[in-house]
Amino acid sequence: MKPSQFDYIRASGLEEAVESLARHGEGARVLAGGQSLVAMMNFRLIQPKVLIDISGIKALSYIRLERGCIEVGASTTQAVLMAWPELASVAPLLAQALPHVGHFQTRSRGTVCGSVAHSDPSSELPLCLATLGGSVVLRSTHGTREVAAKDFQVGLMATARRPDEIVAAVRFPVRQPGTGYAFHEMAERHGDLAVCAVAARVSEAGVRLGVGGVADKPSVREWAGLTEDGIDAALNEFAWDLEASDDIHGSAMYRRQLVRRLGRRAILEAKACRN
């Protein structure tokens, strides 16, 4: 199918984009990489009246280290973040997860902030953001506010973003000393959305595991003093609490099993690479 009609606005800066959003309100959508948005428009799952294109705003394509976080600007593509030379040392979880985000052919346009704004429950970047305890920078004509990842995504493709706000940046906490990270996922084809994805962060203080693709949003659980013998029981409880459901990609039972197996693998791997 083809998209329905819309007015197209090419914003030359963040201010302009924000003003356009304020003017057009709920009928407007921000177009960054378009790798999810345009597909949804082709299916007419959404029919925005106005598209505000921010993909050409050079000032929004940046990666910077600030206050213990990697801040990624709104038009930074996934390919640019993946090619950032410091990624593996500064954010090992992102370095492991990004190859699973779409394909070589979609990461070249798809943006990091776009993935977070879209908030698909099976999407890898929102899962990493939730597991690391990152935040989202929202900008409107009324100003800027920063929302913690756990408060940002509220459900299936639903976020705390107000209609007049734009996701201006996302902030991922950098690697902590003595902490190990690991990422695993099961998808029908490499690069497709995860049937189940897990992200682990293991330190002296404990284990933190995020699971995507099972519930309606990334779910994160923390355990202090989790021993190797206790992992299976802890993951079994977590898997049942996620209230998985059957769909065309897999049954609830299969998903629970993936949580147990991938979860164990990720926790042990993260533990092994603590430094």
Partner 1 sequence: MSQLTADGRRAVSFILNGKAETAFAEPRMLLSDFLRQVMGHTELHVSCEHGVCGACTIQIDGRPARSCLAFAVQVEGQRVDTVQSLAGPQGGLNDIQLAFRKHHGLQCGYCTPGILMSVSAFLKVNPDPGEQEVREMLSGHLCRCTGYVGMVRAVLEVAKGRLTREASQSA
Measured torsion, CA atoms of residues 41, 45, 48, 54, in degrees rounded to the nearest 10? -50
Mask for 8-27, x = binds partner 1 (CB under 8 A): xxxxx---x---x-------
Residues sharing a CB contact under 8 Å with residue 37, sequence separation 6 or more, in sequence order: 29, 31, 46, 114, 118
Mask for 159-198, x = binds partner 1 (CB under 8 A): ------------------------------xxx-------
Contact between 97 and partner 1 by CB under 8 A: the answer reads: no
Among 14, 30, 54, 55, binds partner 1 (CB under 8 A): 55
Task: Give CA angle at 137 (25, 29), nearest 5°.
Answer: 25
254-273: which residues touch partner 1 (CB under 8 A)?
A: none
Among 25, 26, 27, 43, binds partner 1 (CB under 8 A): 43
Q: How far is the CB of 6 from partner 1 (least distance, A)?
A: 5
Q: What separation in angstroms does the CA of 130 have from each of 16, 25, 148, 184, 211?
A: 30, 28, 8, 15, 9
Contact between 88 and partner 1 by CB under 8 A: the answer reads: no
Q: How far is the CB of 208 from partner 1 (least distance, A)?
A: 28
For residues 235 and 160, the answer to whether their CB atoms sit within 8 Å is no
Mask for 191-230, x = binds partner 1 (CB under 8 A): x---------------------------------------
Name the site residues for partner 1 (rule: CB under 8 A).
1-12, 16, 20, 34-35, 38-39, 42-43, 49, 51, 53, 55, 79, 83, 99, 102-106, 108-109, 189-191
